[in-house]
Amino acid sequence: MITAIRRMFSSTIGKYLALAFIALIGVLFALGDVTGNSTFGGIGGANVAKVGSEDIGVGELRERVRQAYNQARQQQPGMTMAGFVESGGLDQVLDQLVEGLAFDQFATEMGFSVSKRLIDGRIADLPAFAGVSGKFDQKVFENFLRQNGMTEAQLRRDLRQQLLIEQLAAPIAMMPRIAPGMARPYAALLMEQRQGQATFIPASPFAPTADPGDAVLRKYLSQNAAKFTVPERRVIQYATFDRSAVPVPAVTDAEIAKVYKDNASQYAASETRRFAQVIVPDQATANSLATKVRGGTSLAAAAQAAGLSASTTGDLTQSAYAATSSAAAAKAAFAAKSGDVVGPLQTGLGWTVARVEDVTTRPARSLADASAEIRTELGKNKANEAIVDYYNTIQDAVNGGASIEEIAADRKMQIVETPALLPSGRSPAQPTFTPAPELAPLVAQAFQAAGEGEGHIATLVENEKFAVYAVKSIVAAAPPPFVQIRADLLSEWRFAEGQKVARDKARAIVKTVEGGKTLAAAVTAAGPNIGSVQTIGGRRAELGAGGKPVPPELALLFSMAKGSVKTLEIPGNRGWMVISLTDVARPDPKSIEPQRVAAIAQPLAPAFGNELIEQLAAEAKRRVGVTINKKLVDQLRGELAGTTPVAE
């Protein structure tokens, strides 16, 4: 939990967990029973960890991992539980639980506390618990807890832990600066220059040309199943509906007449005026200013000469102008002609001198004159009400458990069925299939749906077009049939075999260099089909400049000891590299200019704060004592990943 401030942001899985905890709302996978030992089938009520005086049950950990996985799928719909676990999801959740309990007990021991009133305030401020008015709503709160399968006590425990973090850990993480003396070694490190040599041994020249047979290729497939696995696919059934499918009641003359009567003032004769005006604090100055304006000076110039400024109103009715001045001022202003100067008139803000800039009169409109406009507006309102009612009727049917077939038959909608789709909308079985762009929200929601057969509604075009849909079937992630991918398997196997030869040659070159020969001599001795020796290097501060990725050979070069030689595998069975570091030049930290040190010290401060948080978390765990039942964790890992059966 504490490392949510730092380490958990370093991985994709960790971002989901960290953001979920820090925000508390939106995911809430971490808002379970921190100290409970409830069971959820499979492994019994044993504990996977003991943190101080508290235990973490296997059932609790399993449930939290599943909640974290469901949230992660919203960001990566194609993610499988096995992939989530293998990517560190289980370990991240367990670490969060352990650190949360350890920090809670550690902070309490140090004298920190959180009052019930503070937790009440935090709950009241959470947007997820706000009702229509924008304020805390008890029913919304209770529904939220029920939908997320948690209790109020569980929520309060997690809020307590977050508030303790804010009290103790957050100030440490926000370290504003570090001393120049601490920054100098880092400045010297960034200015370090390195030079070395590299050569590339490609895999393709050493790839075998023979076909090894099905047995070898099947074994290769079993060893590299993840590489050939097609992500989970879903077959979706849907039926669309829009405004054109919804009958709209006709607008009647009686309805038009009622609107006309209810809004009589809107259709009566009216007059609006726009004024340029100056508000003056005393009557004498106002009289002088009005005299100048009546004598031909512009209102703006006269105001400026008096150290004031003129402003222009919008088009106002007499009542609207009276609201900003006074009834008497408005009466006088609306009695004047266009271009006349009015005032000085006393108002609540002082003395006003105004000039009538524009007068707009609108004659009264009869019922016959206004009917067309009213009919159009009523038609729009009825169309909006009709589509809302139609949508709500379908939503009620979905909520009531009606199938998509029943809903479509009842409303004479046509059901369309897609092939098995990936989250992107692409169909591996039908490469030419391309869903309409407007279906993108539907496909995205379908991969967040809990299971098969459940009805849902998706908005395709806001306020215009919708779809009712269901996931007909889910095709689990798996490699395609062997016969379909045999050619790809053969190609990959050949490159993998060539990669092994390239690896052996790279290791031989390293051994030769370590024996005293130059890299160039070692490359020559290794035989043909090896690249020439190239010079590589640069300054450490230039690595990743401009957001560009750091070449792997340079990343390795800047992690090596001077005079050493290393091998580097190129991903994708493309080959191997041999890197030799020949020279390292690092300036004396004391010789670096103060300006450069200051520039480095500022961005280093957050990193130091994060390191202190790490140390605080480690100390909390050391103080309270942590014991992990690795056997149970591994058993749960296998169960979730599908590599071992569910324990009874």
pLDDT tens sequence across 581-632: 999 998 888 888 787 777 777 767 777 777 778 888 888 899 999 999 999 9
pLDDT, average across residues 401-428:
88
Length of the chain: 648
Q: Flag whether 368 is in a domain.
A: no
Quote the mean pLDDT of the chain.
81
Domain end among 475, 506, 541: 475
> pLDDT class for 40, splitting at 50, 70, 90?
very low
By the 10 Å C-beta count (0-12 exposed, 13-18 middle, 19+ buried), 144 is classed as middle
Q: Phi/psi at 374 (nearest 5 deg)?
A: -65, -40
* Domain identity same for 434 and 486: no
Q: Is the peptide bond before 344 cis (omega within 30 degrees of 0)?
A: yes
Are 624 and 106 a contacting pair, CB within 8 Å? yes
* Domain identity same for 80 and 112: yes
Domain end among 424, 458, 475: 475
Lowest mean pLDDT among 127-141, 164-178, 387-401: 164-178
Q: Flag whether 167 is in a domain.
A: yes
Q: What is the pLDDT of residues 358-409, one digit of tens each?
A: 888 888 888 888 888 888 888 888 888 888 888 888 888 888 888 889 888 8
pLDDT, average across residues 304-315:
80
Q: Flag whether 369 is in a domain.
A: no
Is residue 520 scored above 50 in pLDDT? yes
Q: Which residue has the tokens 């352990």?
A: 98
Domain end among 475, 506, 530: 475
Number of neighbours of residue 474 by Cβ within 10 angstroms: 16
Q: Flag whether 646 is in a domain.
A: no
Q: Flag whether 259 is in a domain.
A: no
From its phi and psi, is residue 565 left (phi > 0), alpha (psi between -120 and 50) or beta?
beta
> pLDDT class for 500, splitting at 50, 70, 90?
very high
Query: What confidence score (pLDDT) does residue 601 get?
Result: 73
pLDDT, average across residues 145-166:
77
Query: What confidence score (pLDDT) does residue 461 get?
Result: 84
For residues 136 and 5, the model is more confident at: 136
Query: What confidence score (pLDDT) does residue 522 get?
Result: 94
Query: What confidence score (pLDDT) does residue 334 get?
Result: 86
Number of neighbours of residue 551 by Cβ within 10 angstroms: 13
CATH of the domain at 624: 1.10.4030
Q: What is the pLDDT of residues 441-485, one digit of tens each?
A: 888 888 876 678 888 888 888 878 888 998 998 888 888 889 989
Is residue 56 scored above 80 in pLDDT? yes
Q: Flag whether 592 is in a domain.
A: no
Query: What confidence score (pLDDT) does residue 45 get?
Result: 52
* Domain identity same for 455 and 487: no
Are 354 and 333 a contacting pair, CB within 8 Å? yes
Highest mean pLDDT of the ranges 40-49, 64-73, 495-504: 495-504
* Domain identity same for 43 and 66: yes
* Domain identity same for 347 and 452: no
Lowest mean pLDDT among 161-175, 189-203, 285-299, 624-638: 161-175
Question: Rounded to an integer, what distance in angstroms lies between the CA atom of residue 586 and that of residue 167?
Answer: 41
DSSP structural state of residue 337: P
* Domain identity same for 122 and 67: yes
Domain that holds residue 152: 2-177+609-641
Are 61 and 642 a contacting pair, CB within 8 Å? no
Q: Flag whether 260 is in a domain.
A: no
Q: What is the pLDDT of residues 238-297, one digit of tens each?
A: 998 888 878 888 888 888 888 888 888 778 887 888 888 888 888 888 888 888 888 887
Provide the percentage of residues in the chain whose pLDDT is more than 70: 88
* Domain identity same for 493 and 568: yes
Question: Rounded to an integer, what distance in angstroms lies between the CA atom of residue 529 and that of residue 526?
Answer: 9
Query: What confidence score (pLDDT) does residue 491 get?
Result: 94
Query: What confidence score (pLDDT) does residue 583 get?
Result: 93
* Domain identity same for 286 and 312: yes
CA–CA distance from 6 to each of 15, 34, 156 (Å)?
A: 10, 21, 24
Bridge partners of 277, per DSSP, are 311, 354
For residues 483 and 307, the model is more confident at: 483
Lowest mean pLDDT among 78-87, 158-167, 611-620: 78-87
Q: What is the pLDDT of residues 573-587, one digit of tens each?
A: 999 999 999 999 988
* Domain identity same for 415 and 320: no
Structure tokens belonging to residue 569: 């595998």
Highest mean pLDDT of the ranges 70-74, 121-125, 294-298, 414-418: 414-418
Query: What confidence score (pLDDT) does residue 506 get?
Result: 95
Structure tokens belonging to residue 567: 């091998």
Number of neighbours of residue 101 by Cβ within 10 angstroms: 27
* Domain identity same for 17 and 151: yes
Q: Flag whether 258 is in a domain.
A: no
Structure tokens belonging to residue 399: 């909520």
> pLDDT class for 435, splitting at 50, 70, 90?
confident
Residue among 208, 207, 197, 200 nearest 505 (CA): 200
Lowest mean pLDDT among 166-175, 305-314, 357-366, 545-554: 166-175
* Overall number of domains in the chain: 4
By the 10 Å C-beta count (0-12 exposed, 13-18 middle, 19+ buried), 583 is classed as exposed
CATH of the domain at 309: 3.10.50.40
* Domain identity same for 497 and 538: yes
Is residue 220 scored above 50 in pLDDT? yes
Residue among 624, 470, 474 nearest 109 (CA): 624
* Domain identity same for 433 and 407: yes
Query: What confidence score (pLDDT) does residue 176 get?
Result: 60
Q: Which residue has the tokens 């324990």?
A: 647
DSSP, residue by residue, 231-287: PPEEEEEEEEEEGGGS--PPPPHHHHHHHHHHTHHHHS-EEEEEEEEEEESSHHHHH
